[in-house]
A and B are shown apart, each in its own frame.
Chain A
Amino acid sequence: MNDKQSTIVKAKDVHKWYGEFHVLNSINLDVAKGEKIVICGPSGSGKSTFIRCLNRLEEHQKGQIIIDGVELTNDLKGIEKIRREVGMVFQSFNLFPHLTIMENLCLAPIWVRKTPKKEAEAQAMEYLNRVKIADQAHKFPGQLSGGQQQRVAIARALCMNPRIMLFDEPTSALDPEMIKEVLDVMIELAHSGMTMLCVTHEMGFAKTIADRVVFMDKGEIVEVNSPEKLFNSPQNERTKLFLDQILLH
């Protein structure tokens, strides 16, 4: 893990403020290639803000973030380069409602990677098969269920062949019966060796695939450990309190 060559995400003393509010307070985290990280914590703890900083949807104000050897600065070229390599899945899917599923998937490969249309469509079909939704390729997002839309969103991110995938509470907006179909796709993706950072409260999912679980509270990383250790014998009081609350509900 400390092997420098395999570190793909490096956050060093990252700070961010919203006005007076210190939303990220000295975040340090190294993620190795192929590693799966689950980030959990109470709402307002800064976990979403942190992973949104990793592809510059949010700007950090102090510290260093290095993705795959490129540091995130105000340089637009660098940001665009990193965004090509980092896929993101949102809580509210954010599919493009005016485009068909197929067009949603092909948009970025065709415009950003300049992939020929035929090739892009063939690749999109492959990913749609992987998320088991190929038969819906020519529908519009509005005609799909939430779970289906989120699987399309995952496929859309994968179509750029990213090296890192970020998930921002991917199952929080879903009806309970649809959570499993999305998690299954994510587990399959994890087994394929993708580097993943997930903000989620799905503890079962964390136990299945996470190499490390990061617990955040009040803008700080409170505890980082393997899922077994963090869930079964949390070291910090705040972690204990949080786990008690989510397990009791």
Chain B
Amino acid sequence: MQVMTQDSAIKKSITWCRENLFSSPTNGLATVILLFLLIKFITVVASWLFFNATFVGDNRDACNQGGACWVFIKTRIDQFIYGFYPNAERWRVNLVLAAFASTIGFWFFTANKSKRFLGFWTFLLFPILSWNVLRGSNFSLTSVETAKWGGVFLTLMVSTVGIVCSLPLGIILALGRQSKMPAIKTISVLFIELWRGVPLITVLFMSSVMLPLFFPEGVQFDKLLRALIGVALFSSAYMAEVVRGGLQAIPKGQFEAAQAIGLSYWQSMRSVIMPQALKMVIPGIVNTFIGLFKDTTLVAIIGMFDLLGIIQAATTDPDWLGFTLEGYVFAAIFFWLCCYTMSKYSQFLERKLHTGH
């Protein structure tokens, strides 16, 4: 019996191959050539990544097998994660990262009722507390200048601030742009068009070089904080246009029905219009998030060492010259994992929010 089913399974796959891969002499030839190239490519890549790669050792002499030298990543991994944050104080970064991870977890598993406190924590308490813990000027912690922050930790920080700020700001700007009040409308349009028309590099340069010139003497304003504000405002302009796209797709009848049952403007936006508009533009929102996440690497040009910046710095270390490829592959894997996770989550969200219409 089992042999029979196995037989038929084989037969099935043979028919499939015949129909799809070898339906004509040309197609057959193409299949063979492509298969050859594919195998060749995979062997080369896999042998570099794994089979000929070096995983054990603690200096470049260990790497003599012709493949990737992961020892380079291994000896540097702490720096890639924490930047130049002092060794003894890294528990503070871990603490904040753990709190960050738990906050995300709570958003998934908390009932709607307690979301109000969670929002208060996420958008107000958590950012202020983490800044203080990391910067360390209060709580009798050793002060760690933001110039020493870096690596994965800085990348996550800049992108999270950008992502978390851009959505609410973007919503407000999108509503402002649709407002009937001329002043609010003009301000929103100007803001959006100004920020959207300027490259992020320019924004970062302005925030780090030009802005301090306008400060009164003696006023200090942290460079990282300035960059964070720049990134947040920049991304909110993009987000505003994505959200506006969603708003325009909502039928007029929804606005009218909300008005007719007596909801005020803000009530109808909050419970009727926005939930539908945002759901519709989830792909666009996540697209902006992913773009922003990768754009955070630009902070390197104002002298901050995000993951990519610190990897680049490490490849110029005389002890490790010539391992640029390993560094970039590592960065690529990290970025891809993060972006793919966001993409998957957005697909899950779309399915979950689908209500059959």
Binding site for B on A (CB under 8 A): 55, 57, 80, 83-84, 86-88, 90, 92, 94-99, 107-108, 111-112, 140-143, 156-157, 160
- B254 to A111, Cβ gap below 8 A? no
- B262 to A108, Cβ gap below 8 A? yes
- B272 to A84, Cβ gap below 8 A? no
If A90-B253, A98-B275, A111-B271 touch, whether A57 touches B259 (CB-CB below 8 Å) is yes
Nearest chain A CB to B186's CB is how many angstroms away?
Answer: 22
Give chain A residues whose Cβ lies under 8 Å from the Cβ of B275.
98
Could you list some 5 contacts between A and B, CB below 8 A?
A57-B259, A94-B253, A98-B276, A108-B263, A112-B267
- Residue of B261, B353, B355 touching A83 (CB-CB under 8 A): B261
Query: How far apart sit A36 and B261, CA to CA, in the bound complex (Å)?
Result: 21
Apart from A96-B272, A108-B262, A112-B263, list 18 A-B contacts with CB within 8 A: A55-B259, A83-B259, A83-B262, A86-B260, A90-B256, A90-B260, A95-B257, A98-B275, A99-B271, A107-B271, A107-B272, A108-B263, A111-B263, A112-B267, A140-B355, A142-B357, A157-B260, A157-B261
Give chain B residues whose Cβ lies under 8 Å from the Cβ of A84.
262
Give chain B residues whose Cβ lies under 8 Å from the Cβ of A97.
276, 355, 357
Q: Please tell me if B279 contacts chain A, counting CB pairs below 8 Å.
A: yes
- Which of A83, A86, A108 has the largest number of chain B CB atoms within 10 A? A108
- B276 to A156, Cβ gap below 8 A? no
Q: Please tell me if B199 contacts chain A, counting CB pairs below 8 Å.
A: no
Q: Which chain B residue lies CB-closest to A58?
A: B256
Give chain A residues whose Cβ lies under 8 Å from the Cβ of B256.
57, 90, 94
Nearest chain A CB to B176's CB is how many angstroms away?
Answer: 18
- B261 to A108, Cβ gap below 8 A? yes
**B235-285, CB < 8 A from A:** 251, 253-254, 256-264, 267, 271-272, 275-276, 279
- B262 to A98, Cβ gap below 8 A? no
- Residue of A98, A141, A142, A160 touching B261 (CB-CB under 8 A): A160
- Residue of A90, A94, A142 touching B355 (CB-CB under 8 A): A142
Q: Which chain B residue lies CB-closest to A79?
A: B259
Give chain A residues whose Cβ lies under 8 Å from the Cβ of B254.
94, 96
- A160 to B262, Cβ gap below 8 A? yes
